[in-house]
Amino acid sequence: MIDRNFSTVAGTQPPLSGPRTSVMSPMVGSFLGLINKFFEWFGDLGIFFWRVVHAAVTPPFEFRELFRQLDEIGSMSLPLVALAGAATGVVLSLEARYSLTRFGAKSLLPAAIVFSVIHETGPIITGLVVSGRVGAGIGAELASMKVTEQIDAIEASAVSPYRLLAAPRILACILVLPLLTLAGDACGVLMGWVTQALTEPLSLHQFISAGFKGADFNDFLPPTFKTAVFGLIIGLIACFQGMRTQGGAAGVGRAATSSVVLSSLFVILADVVLVKLILIFFP
């Protein structure tokens, strides 16, 4: 009794009977766990990339598999890229015509379509279309090989799966993306002219001359070749996600989905950085 009165007079509170737990500690722990997994994933991706590079420059070289992947990735993706480029050209022509007419600059319509398609719309649309088709295909293919232990059998045969499986697919993506971008740009410009010609008679020669007037190679080469970086991102992430799959058939589905989502996300982020670098080095 005396001690309780003394503590009350002194202005102190008696100690609680049980330990105090923070409500925020589970949330903080979960957040820190996500950050840890994020950096761990990046570290594993860097190790995987180094192994692929080392295997790619070490003979013997898998040229047959490279040519097969060039056909699989390039030829099979061409119709989809061409269709996406054509639709983009139609939409840009309609929107640009409406906007430029309001401001009395309808004569700039061919240049607006050409520069919009080749500078930004064509490369990013091609990158996203290929990441959706090729990323899912590579991720699911390698994931199914992983869960059925085919990759383990390749390693047991003293053959590097990084050389046989990953390197040809990544290199094929790097080589094919700029070519697919050119095809998508051509379809976009052509359909932009068709849309314009249906509204107002204009020959293709006049459209091309007005569209490319005052342009040089610095306006078109950097945006086209930046898609090689998109190809590296798509091939690397798809191969990485596929070759680290676990969990049977469900893991194959997760690998395909994560390959598409992550490759598309990193393509968009890389495009932001590359656009800034192009504006700095090719003003």
Tens digits of residue pLDDT in 129-146 = 999 999 999 999 999 999
Which residues form the domain of 174?
A: 49-281
% the chain with pLDDT above 70: 92
Quick one: tokens of 232? 């590296």
Would you state the pLDDT for residue 10?
A: 47
Q: Closest Cα to residue 276, out of 223, 225, 228, 231?
A: 223
Structurally, the chain folds into a number of domains equal to 1
In a domain, 12, yes or no: no
* Dist. CA 76–CA 81, nearest whole Å: 10
> Does a structural domain hold residue 101?
yes
Region 276-281: mean pLDDT is: 88
pLDDT attached to residue 100? 81
For residue range 76-125, list pLDDT tens digits in order: 899 999 999 999 999 998 888 888 877 777 778 888 889 989 988 999 99
Q: Is 229 contained in some domain?
A: yes
At which residue do the structure tokens 């013997």 appear?
60
Q: Which residue has the tokens 């330990």?
A: 19
Rounded-to-integer distance, Cα 262 and Cα 130, Å: 13
Residue 200 lies in a domain: yes
For the chain, the maximum distance between any two Cα atoms, rounded to a whole number of angstroms, is 104
Question: Ranked by mean pLDDT, which of 14-28, 142-156, 194-208, 226-240 comes out on top?
Answer: 226-240
67 found inside a domain = yes
* pLDDT, tens only, 149-182: 898 898 888 888 999 999 999 999 999 999 999 9
Instruction: Kindly tell me if the per-residue pLDDT of 19 is higher than 90.
Output: no
Residue 157: per-residue pLDDT: 86
Residue 233 lies in a domain: yes
Going by pLDDT thresholds of 50, 70 and 90, the confidence category of residue 24 is low
Q: Is residue 227 domain-resident?
A: yes
Q: Measure Cα distances from 139 to 10, 142, 172, 262, 277 in Å.
A: 69, 6, 15, 11, 30
Rounded CA gap, 178 and 180, in Å?
5
Task: Supply the pLDDT for residue 106.
Answer: 75
Domain-located, residue 31? no
For residue 172, what pLDDT is reported?
95
8 pLDDT above the threshold of 80:
no
